[in-house]
């Protein structure tokens, strides 16, 4: 069985930046499970995995355009900490969910805390970075009907 739309795929992966610094890795953990063709993973990596088989190993370079996007300085805003949820003690690296103009949920990351002033950044922390993946395909199966309805993987390595 080769990877195609609606395949549930498990991969071992390591993600490095241009400097060879490891940004993320499944080493020592469960492989990453995702549903192919549902934007569960970045575009460039998904495209490279299309048609691959169990045991295939690949190295994939993903440009920001096919990764987490280019950085956009307009997505950075400063707010008073009182504008954040009351129970929240803001810390750098925390993620906050905000409501976008069309009612959709937009993730923001806290990038600075200075007194009562908090800087929120709508850029993904990996935006603007070229991503270097090394990937091994561990398993491939067809998605269940329930998984197809939800657009993500259930069971080990998945949601719920």
Q: Which residues lie near Zn ion (CB under 5 A)?
A: 150, 159
Asked if 148 and 6 count as a contact pair (C-beta separation under 8 A), the reply is yes
Which residue(s) pair with 127 in the sheet? Answer: none
* Residue closest to Zn ion (Cβ): 150
Report, in Å, the least distance between residue 41 CB and Zn ion: 16
Report, in Å, the least distance between residue 159 CB and Zn ion: 5
Report, in Å, the least distance between residue 97 CB and Zn ion: 19
Report, in Å, the least distance between residue 153 CB and Zn ion: 8
Decide whether 120 or 143 has the Cβ nearer to Zn ion: 143
**Whole-angstrom distance, CA of residue 57 vs CA of residue 72:** 33
Give the SS3 label for residue 47.
Answer: helix
Decide whether 122 or 158 has the Cβ nearer to Zn ion: 158
Q: Which residues contact 108 (CB under 8 A, 6 or more apart)?
A: 95, 96, 97, 98, 120, 121, 122
Asked if 67 and 43 count as a contact pair (C-beta separation under 8 A), the reply is yes
Decide whether 8 or 62 has the Cβ nearer to Zn ion: 8
Decide whether 124 or 150 has the Cβ nearer to Zn ion: 150
Give the SS3 label for residue 61.
Answer: strand
């Amino acid at each position: 069985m080769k990877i195609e739309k609606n395949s549930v795929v498990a991969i071992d992966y390591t993600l490095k930046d241009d400097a060879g610094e490891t940004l993320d890795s499944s080493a020592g953990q469960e492989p990453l499970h995702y549903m192919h063709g549902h934007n569960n993973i970045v575009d460039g990596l998904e495209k490279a995995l299309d048609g691959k088989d169990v045991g295939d190993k690949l190295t994939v370079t993903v440009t920001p355009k096919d990764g987490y996007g280019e950085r956009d300085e307009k997505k950075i805003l400063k707010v008073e900490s009182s504008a954040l949820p009351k129970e929240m003690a803001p810390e750098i690296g925390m993620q906050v969910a905000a409501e976008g103009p069309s009612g959709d949920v937009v993730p923001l990351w806290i990038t600075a805390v200075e007194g009562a002033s908090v800087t929120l950044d709508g850029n993904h922390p990996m935006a603007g970075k070229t991503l270097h993946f090394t990937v091994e395909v561990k398993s491939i199966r067809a998605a269940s009907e329930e998984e197809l309805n939800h657009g993500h993987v259930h069971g080990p390595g998945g949601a719920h």
